[in-house]
Amino acid sequence: MTSYAPGPSTALLTDHYELTMVQAALAAGTAERRSVFELFGRRLPEGRRYGVVAGVGRALDAFERFRFDDEALAVLREDDVVNQQTLDWLADFRFNGDVWGYPEGETYFAYSPLVVVESTFAEAVLLETLFLSIYNHDSAIASAASRMTWAAQGRPCIEMGSRRTHEEAAVAAARAAYVAGFESTSNLAARQRYGIPTTGTSAHSFTLLHDTEEEAFRAQVASLGEGTTLLVDTYDVAEAVRLGVEVAGPSLGAVRIDSGDLGVLAHQVRRQLDSLGATGTRVVVTSDLDEYAIAGLAAAPVDGYGVGTQLVTGSGHPTSGFVYKLVSRADDAGRMVSVAKKSKDKISVGGRKFALRRRNARGTAEAEVIGIGQAPVNDGDDRALLVPLIRDGKVVGREPLAAARARHLASREELPLPARQLSKGEPAIQTLHLDA
């Protein structure tokens, strides 16, 4: 029996039609029919060579609060969303099935069965919108973030997109970016909820608050210490760098450049810092960076990247395009039968799935192998991908965020070299379906 966590209900974070399907199934006597649903993407976003699974922990948290409490039921009753039979069923709703899925941070490909939900039709269909909204958002962010951290070649990336998206999406984005290798975030709610390191010093407004740039720098250093990061492009970059070292000394922590030709300026600033004896002062760049801009700065003396708009907004990352489809259900005799959608360009593959990552003797991934009806044979070098997330209605797959972060780095490293390419191309490995 599901034990629901305290906190606001997530039951109405769903689409109207999920409940009308439950109503119709209750009336038809098919609501309790055993069913298997699958969350997957038919393809990677155009040109992408791999994707990253994120949002698993958030989905499990939301699942634990998925209950139709008095407030939720009142909305459905007052607006005649569903009939009384359905309201009574929802009032007693408890998910008692099983959920398997790719663990957070794992890489994925076309038709990877990222989530497999086994329960009754009514119980399983209710989770569709909740799971899709979380997985689609967080995986899109993490997939973009992974490309950025790979392009950064070990230099730290800082997530700073809070002001460019919805306030709650900002927290989720910071979490997804951290899973994919970002070192820190500017978002304090992400620190509070998930323990993600935060960082931040000052914006141009702080410099403009003072009569001179020197006054602003002295105020910041007096408050935050000589290890702070000074923003040096409010007026003249070279003069600001000179003032910064004069005020903080050669132990100045870092300077940040937020405009102009970042590559050229980084070289100029590095030379100037070194000439002033500030050889340990880091150069951090910001300003609408994406993976292509980061890769373009690979040869520049840049020590870190601040990324915002191009990570958290739709213009910076393509959608994951995940769907949630019924792939198997019991027939009138109680036998499980495969079902699939055949619509043009929206085909699904029927049958309960099992998945493993086929690897060669060197540990390099070669294929995503999907078994239909039974698990594919592991030849010893392969790696199983699906893990239990929910068993008999109880969450069993929760893990520390650090585990997801470490998993992503390991999963990404086992991909073949073409996965690193930022140019558009085919997926790094192909997906193979094996019938039982």
- CATH number of the domain bearing residue 324: 3.20.140.10
Opening angle at CA 120, ends 129 and 434, nearest 5: 80
Report if residue 362 sits inside a domain. yes
pLDDT tens track for 372-410 = 999 999 988 999 999 999 999 999 999 999 999 999 999
Q: Give the sign of the dihedral formed by CA 119, CA 124, CA 125, CA 128.
A: negative
Whether this model's pTM surpasses 0.85: yes
In this prediction, residue 4 carries a pLDDT of 54
Q: Are residues 224 and 130 in the same domain?
A: no
CA distance 434 to 432: 7
Q: Are residues 132 and 219 in the same domain?
A: no
pLDDT tens track for 319-343 = 999 999 999 999 999 999 999 888 7
Report if residue 7 sits inside a domain. no
CA distance 36 to 58: 22
Of 346 and 332, the one with more pLDDT: 332
Q: Are residues 423 and 335 in the same domain?
A: yes
The last residue of one of the domains, among 239, 265, 287, is: 287
- Domain residues for 217? 201-287
The last residue of one of the domains, among 266, 287, 308, is: 287
Q: Which of 333, 395, 366 is nearest to 61 (CA)?
A: 395
Q: What is the mean pLDDT of the chain?
A: 95
Report if residue 195 sits inside a domain. no
Q: Are residues 323 and 428 in the same domain?
A: yes
Residue 1 has pLDDT above 50, yes or no: no
CA 176 to chain centre: 3
Residue 11 has pLDDT above 50, yes or no: yes
Q: Are residues 329 and 409 in the same domain?
A: yes
Q: Give the sign of the dihedral formed by CA 261, CA 265, CA 267, CA 268.
A: positive
pLDDT tens track for 261-307 = 999 999 999 999 999 999 999 999 999 999 999 999 999 999 999 99
Report if residue 155 sits inside a domain. no
If you average pLDDT over residues 180-187, what whole number do you get?
98
CATH code of the domain in which 223 resides: 3.20.20.70
Report if residue 236 sits inside a domain. yes
Burial 384-421 (b: 16+ CB within 10 A, else e): ebbeebbeebebebeeebeebbebbeebbebbeeebee
Residue 180 has pLDDT above 50, yes or no: yes
Q: Are residues 127 and 31 in the same domain?
A: yes
pLDDT tens track for 33-43 = 999 999 999 99
Q: Are residues 354 and 259 in the same domain?
A: no
The last residue of one of the domains, among 287, 308, 341, is: 287
Q: Are residues 363 and 280 in the same domain?
A: no
Q: Are residues 225 and 279 in the same domain?
A: yes
Report if residue 310 sits inside a domain. no
In this prediction, residue 346 carries a pLDDT of 75
Confidence of residue 47 (pLDDT cuts 50, 70, 90): confident
Structural domain tally of the chain?
2
CA distance 133 to 10: 12
Report if residue 183 sits inside a domain. no
